[in-house]
Amino acid sequence: MFQIDNSTAATAQPAPTSPGTPGFFTDGNPLTGVAPTIVPAEFLNAVMLEMCNIVTGAGLTLSKASFTQLRDSIKRICQKTVVLTDTGSVNTYVATNSPALSASDLVSGLLQQVSIRSANTGAATYSPDGLSAARSTASHCSHCKAESCRLAVLLF
């Protein structure tokens, strides 16, 4: 993956055009008068920059000679496990993400690891980033008594 670098490439990203109606590409059909989709540079720039940002966001360097950078970047990003620090109290887990989650991020299946501060004595809630508390399920957590214990919190 690399950013276009030939002699006809623009030196600055052109200003975006106004949004149109979302649609799909077509090869067209000359028999019915349907024109093929014109693929504008703006679209190609968006795709290129999205992919470049995945690669560089994973800490890799863009390279013309590698054709596995996007795959390698996604694997690296998925392997990063951030263990959050619990700042709550008994059965009330609180943690801060960076960047912070928003309410729309609290979906079924969100999995986070939190280093537990207090003993888990019963049903627990989890409030990431000051959002409303959600009931949580913790893996292997009925014995959590030490700060070194890790808890996988599943919001649902």
For 19-64, the pLDDT digits (tens) are 999 999 999 999 999 999 999 999 999 999 999 999 998 889 999 9
| Residue/partner pairs of 87-91 with CB below 8 Å, 24 or more apart | 87/117, 88/117, 88/118, 88/127, 89/117, 89/118, 90/118, 90/119, 90/120, 90/121, 91/118, 91/120, 91/121, 91/122, 91/123, 91/124, 91/125
Q: Tell me, what's the pLDDT at 21? A: 94
Q: Tell me, what's the pLDDT at 66? A: 94
What pTM was estimated for this model as a whole?
0.58
For the cut 80, the answer to whether the pLDDT of residue 95 exceeds it is yes
Q: Mean pLDDT in the chain? A: 84
Average pLDDT over residues 85-112: 82
Q: What is the Cα–Cα distance from 151 to 93, expressed in whole angstroms?
A: 10
Q: What is the Cα–Cα distance from 46 to 42, expressed in whole angstroms?
A: 6
For the cut 70, the answer to whether the pLDDT of residue 115 exceeds it is yes
Give strand pairing partners of 128: 95
For the cut 80, the answer to whether the pLDDT of residue 120 exceeds it is no
Q: What is the Cα–Cα distance from 153 to 135, expressed in whole angstroms?
A: 10
For the cut 70, the answer to whether the pLDDT of residue 108 exceeds it is no
Q: What is the CA radius of gyration of the chain?
A: 23
